[in-house]
Each structure stands twice: as C-alpha cells, then as structure tokens.
Chain A
C-alpha cells in the first residue's frame, strides 16, 4: 500500500531552494500521522545528502543529460518513475513555475488527484487535508484527495524553515527512460534580465511601488535601492505596470503574481482589492502612503503616513545599518 510523503526538491545554481527545506520540514511534522517515511526526489543538480538534515530519510536522484535543464516530458517521466519506486501516499512540491508545469501532467499520468496553490496542510484521521485559496484569496476551501496518491503544490513561504539537524540522507540513483515525446516541447533559450533577485512568488521580502513613483526613474531611484537594502525583490501595482514604469513580470495582484513573503512593503500603493488579492497572505505588511485614509492601512501591520520620496531613502539607510 502507498505510504509516506515524497517531496520534489527544486534547486537553482547548484543549491536547494528554500522551498525544498520548507516542504521537507512540514512533511516531517505530518508524517507521523500520515504513516511511512519522508523521502525526497531531486532531478538534475546537486547531491541530496544534506536533505537528511530537514527530515528526508532517503533521496531519489535522477541524473543525466536529459535532466540537466527543465524539460516537461523528461521531468514528468522522472517524477513518475520515482513515484513508482517509492510508492508514496503524498507527493509535495512547490507552487513554483516548475510545479505548475509538471504536477498537473503527472496527476493525469498517474490518475492521482491534485490540489494546487495550497497554503496549509494538516492531517485528519490519517488523511491529509489541504487548505487553499479560491477566488484570488477571497475565500478558502479544504481539499481532501481520495486516490491512493495525492499531489499537492504548496505556495512558497507557507511554512517555517528550521535549521538543518545535520543528518545525512541515503541517496538512491534512479535510472529513467525518456520517451521520444520529450523532444516535442523543449526550452530553446533562457532569456534573463536582472536575475540577481529572487522570483517574486518565492521571495521572502518584497518592496513594491505604485503609480505614485511617477516614472521608471522613480522605481530605479527609490524602490530598487530600498529593495536592495533589505535583500528584497521589487514589485509593483498594476497602475505602475500599465503606465510603463516597470515590466508586467513585476506586477503583484489578481492579474499579476500572487506572493507570500514574510515582509511586504507597499510604497504609494492605495490598496485596491485586486492588489490585495496578490499579497494579503504576507506575514507582515508595511504601508507607506501620504493619504491617511488609503485602504492599504486597513490591512497593514505597520503604517507610515508620509511622503514616500522622503521615507524610502531614510528607510533604506536604516535597513542597511540594521542588517550589516
């Protein structure tokens, strides 16, 4: 019978992403009630021994040329092969761009039910219960999966990450045959621009600016330096994107990115419902706005009523001092 929790661990530039540690730690906390053990699957990239420190007893590793770069067909085959070998009851992954691509296809291949963009996991009577937002976060629902395997993609930063306990996991190499189909869709180029920042959807700290920045220079001179001082990723409201100050990939909200950082700093953003839809689950929200009646203050943990052009540079200095 299927048992245990398998975690798809993503990595970038040879190091595991924070989501890998986050999901393993959560899996470890849940596995006692689910039954079985926690294992990890790694495709391409680094050795997974260190994942033992976050609770993985075993790491299934799929390596080879076909797996060195993201490829939907090859990676789905890899995950399916590892699921076949590990026979878990639960497969967890991040609701990242890779998770969005791979998990639905894997779900269909294995006839396993799937819950996406999960923000909390608990166990009820031995069964996993996933909490997930619907209607862009205006409501939440609980999902139970009745197939013998359930797939879940979890929003980054939903759970805390403990320090490694130093344990080392057993590594199991899994050989995977890639069907000819994998060539029918492939990445031909990775186009990069300012890749020194973390993906918004995975970022732990975000500094966003609105229409009030008045120009792309406003973002360059005020938002980007403040973000840098905090090690944060810059974001924006739709009004700023529509005005052409920053690209759409920066947009937070209902028609942009849904983010889940521990700190979200909104500078000159009014707090429209569509913007809130993208950031309301942030642990701490800071609003800087000169209008004391701006709706954003109703959702902010801390608010400063003042001119952002005066506050942000001083705040950037203060963060630099505090974090140095």
Chain B
C-alpha cells in the first residue's frame, strides 16, 4: 500500500499468471488433446508487460495469443474488462471461453459472468469438473453445505474454473522454444468496434479508494491450567461470558 493509501505499489511485484487461469488453460489444452477443440487462444488484457505471461501460455501449448491493449482500456472496472473480453471472444469466434473463478489480486469473481451476459451465452461459474460431449458441457459446481450442482450448458458458453479440475502442466523446453516463434496479436478498441467511452477510466462506474492493512486483532491469551479439564472449563467460560458466542 502506498503512503497516501490510494493504491498498491506494483513496482517491485513479480507478476504471475493467476493460478485459477492456469486451470482454465489446462482445461482448454486437454480439450484440444481430446480432439474436442481445434485451437487454443490465450487472451490477456493489459499492457506490453503481460507478454511474458502470454508467452508462458503459448509455451504450455496454446496455439495463438491476443493481447487486448489500448490506451482507452486503462482504468477499466470489471464491466469494462468484460466488454473488451466479450468483443474479443466474438471477433475470434471462439466456441468456449474459459476463465479463472477469480483474480487473486482483486478477488472480484465478476468478469466471467459479466462477459457471458455481454455475449448472450450461458455460464457456469466456480466449476471443478468439466466434460464436453458434442455441443454439451457437463460441469460440477460446489455450492456449499455438502452440495454440488451438476450443470449442463450448450456451446458457445463461458466457464470459470476453480481448483480441483486438473493439474496444470509446466511448459516443456520444446514448448518454450516454439513459443518464441508464435506471434502475439494486438487488438485495440477500434479493432473490436468498441465505444471508447464505455471502457477504461471513462466508462468505469466502480471506484476504489482508501487502501488499508487488515485491522489488527487484539492480542489473544493462552489459557493456563493444571489439567486439560481445567483449561477446557476456562475456555468454555470465556466463550460464554467474555466473547458471548455460546
């Protein structure tokens, strides 16, 4: 957090691919290996500094890559990102858009559902299992309380991937060499036919301010006692009388 508490200092950060996006890429690569997908395209919206991460995706086996980059995109909120991604998915005529369930920096979990709506495609979010049979996707989603949904969706669709659906592969040496020769296409607002006032800072309706560290927890205490039962009795007393949670 910077000194004025208005943002995060990103200069020293070592950027990595969002781990949930690695599940999405792995799922795509497996679909291609099963002969159910013809091409795997990596999309990343960001400046030229995302190219190293895009290359990593290409090295793992993606066929082509598109960086979504335009001055007009800078400062996008989730709706802005989703407008750009939706336009890109439509332009590339993809049949399945796989996302991570959430970005591990902003923890929003918004872009996949928003993108699905802009495309008018069905969605399944937070999925931990995926099968594709013809035009039909079967996906599992943990909905808590010991329940899982088995969902079916028809292509084209947007999915967001949770942990547990696969184990992402590493790039092979050969893959890394091959990735060097794979080009990265760049699309901007004009290529995507996007109204620049609807994306970037101009279109953003969500403003973040005032960054702060988490509130400090008051110092805790170790419960002393001669025996286990003494300690337990004291704990129950404190939970009931002091913390008032029983």
Contacts and interface: CB of A to CB of B under 8 A. Distances in A.
Interface in A1-20: 12
A123 interface: no
Contacts of B110: 103-104, 107, 114, 116
A190 B147 contact: yes
Given A100-B125, A140-B214, A143-B206, A189 B146 contact: no
Interface stretch (B60-68, B99-107, B170-178): B99-107
Interface in B106-147: 106-118, 120-126, 128, 138, 140-147
Contacts of B77: 113
Interface residues of B, number: 79
Contacts of B190: none
A53 interface: no
A304 B212 contact: no
B1 A322 contact: no
A190 B125 contact: no
B85 to A, nearest CB: 11
Contacts of A112: 205
A188 B150 CA distance: 6
B186 interface: no
Given A143-B208, A255-B163, A192 B147 contact: yes
B107 A201 contact: no
Contact of A115 (B128, B206, B209, B211): B206
B92 interface: no
Contacts of A196: 146
A93 B184 CA distance: 40
Contacts, number: 255
Interface residues of A, number: 96
Given A284-B243, A301-B243, A302-B220, A318 B112 contact: no
A292 B209 contact: no
B151 A138 contact: no
Contact of B207 (A102, A144, A248): A144
B22 to A, nearest CB: 12
B180 interface: no
B142 A249 contact: yes
B194 interface: no
B164 interface: yes
Interface string B206-227: 1111111111011011110000
Contact of A139 (B19, B79, B212, B246): B212
Contacts of A186: 151-153
A318 B243 contact: no
Contacts of B114: 104-105, 107-108
By secondary structure, the B interface counts as mixed
A79 to B, nearest CB: 12
A189 B122 CA distance: 17
B61 to A, nearest CB: 24
Contacts of B239: 263, 284, 286, 302
Given A143-B208, A192-B146, A299-B220, A314 B228 contact: yes
Contacts of A298: 220
B110 to A, nearest CB: 4
B233 interface: yes
Given A186-B152, A190-B148, A139 B238 contact: no
A70 B233 contact: no
B233 A318 contact: yes
A199 interface: yes
Nearest to B225: A304
B90 interface: no
B189 interface: no
Nearest to A323: B246
A292 B224 CA distance: 12
- The 7 A-B pairs of least Cβ separation, nearest first, read A199-B144, A104-B113, A185-B122, A108-B117, A113-B205, A185-B153, A199-B145
5 contacts: A114-B206, A188-B151, A192-B147, A256-B163, A284-B245
